[in-house]
């Protein structure tokens, strides 16, 4: 991968969760705006606003601009609505998997990354002490609990195996990142275009479409 490609991939990763996912679905996986709007219960203008916000943020990072724009009101409103649905979906999945209790969501509502972490922490609290300790030792700031195993060197085999078990427990309970949850209903459309296991499992695609 060239330095420019890495720069572009890094810029995409800095886009907030909703516009980033829609940007990837539309620009890299060819999902039409109409299909996205129908699945999310939004109108085309709102989806277009999300995509415009994503492009503006990516462009600002790629060009090293001093001021990086935020998301507009249409994007923020849609993200807030979907975030509530995401919380409900995780709570339902956890209940169906037999995980007792209620998730301690951030209050007042914060970013989607905080919700992902809160949901992961709910499952983590029910795991054996050794697994919780392995996660605590491997934690990196700003990274969801489910991804901690990525930062463990191959020479730490025991800890890496423990974190794989944590990852399996989270997935078994129904934990999903917001990106995965949002993209899941659109996978049949994506599958007709290309074979991909997940929009996020392999990181941000490194094929680029300019503005």
Q: Give the per-residue SS3 of the chain.
A: CCHHHHHHHHHHHCCCHHHHHHHHHHHCCCCCHHHHHHHHCCCHHHHHHHHHHHHHHHHHHHCCCCCCCCCCHHHHHHHHHHHHHHHHHHHHHHHHCCCCCCCCCCCCCCCHHHHHHHHHHHHHCCCCHHHHHHHHHHCCCCCCHHHHHHHCCCCCHHHHHHHHHHHHHHHHHCCCCHHHHHHHHHHHHHHCCCCCCCCCCCCCCCCCCCC
Q: Give dist(CA 211, CA 55) in Å, integer.
A: 7
Q: How is residue 3 written in tokens?
A: 């330095």
Read off the pLDDT of each residue in 1-26 and give the average, rounded to a whole number: 82
The pLDDT value recorded for residue 51 is 95
Per-residue pLDDT at 46 exceeds 50 = yes
Q: Give dist(CA 160, CA 5) in Å, integer.
A: 30
The pLDDT value recorded for residue 140 is 58
Read off the pLDDT of each residue in 150-158 and give the average, rounded to a whole number: 63
Q: How is residue 152 written in tokens?
A: 């463990």
Per-residue pLDDT at 211 exceeds 60 = no
The pLDDT value recorded for residue 210 is 38
Q: Do 47 and 22 meet the contact criterion of CB atoms below 8 Å apart?
A: yes
Q: How many of the other CB atoms lie within 10 Å of CB of 67?
A: 5
User: Which pLDDT band holds residue 151 (cuts at 50, 70, 90)?
Assistant: low
Read off the pLDDT of each residue in 9-24 and give the average, rounded to a whole number: 89
User: Which pLDDT band holds residue 147 (cuts at 50, 70, 90)?
Assistant: low
Q: How many of the other CB atoms lie within 10 Å of CB of 204?
A: 18
Q: pTM of the full predicted structure?
A: 0.78
Question: Worst-scoring range by mean pLDDT, 46-50, 52-56, 103-107, 192-196?
Answer: 192-196
The residue among 100 and 42 whose pLDDT is bigger is 42
């Amino acid at each position: 991968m060239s330095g420019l490609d890495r720069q572009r991939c890094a810029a995409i990763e800095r886009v907030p969760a909703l516009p980033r996912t829609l940007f990837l679905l539309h620009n890299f996986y060819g999902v039409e705006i109409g299909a996205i709007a129908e699945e999310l219960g939004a109108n085309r203008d709102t989806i277009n606003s999300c995509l415009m916000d994503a492009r503006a943020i990516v462009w600002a990072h790629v060009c090293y601009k001093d001021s990086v724009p935020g998301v507009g009101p249409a994007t923020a409103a849609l993200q807030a609505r979907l975030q509530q649905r995401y919380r409900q979906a995780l709570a339902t999945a956890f209940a169906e998997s037999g995980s007792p209790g209620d998730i301690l969501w951030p209050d007042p509502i914060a970013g989607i990354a905080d919700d992902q972490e809160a949901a992961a922490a709910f499952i983590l609290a029910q795991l054996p002490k050794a697994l919780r300790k392995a996660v605590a030792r491997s934690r990196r700031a700003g990274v969801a609990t489910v991804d901690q195993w990525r930062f463990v060197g191959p020479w730490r085999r025991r800890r890496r195996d423990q974190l794989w078990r944590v990852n399996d427990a989270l997935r078994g309970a129904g934990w999903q990142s917001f990106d995965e949850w949002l993209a899941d209903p659109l996978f049949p459309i994506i599958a007709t275009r290309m074979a991909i296991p997940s929009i996020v499992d392999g990181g941000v695609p490194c094929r680029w479409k300019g503005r």
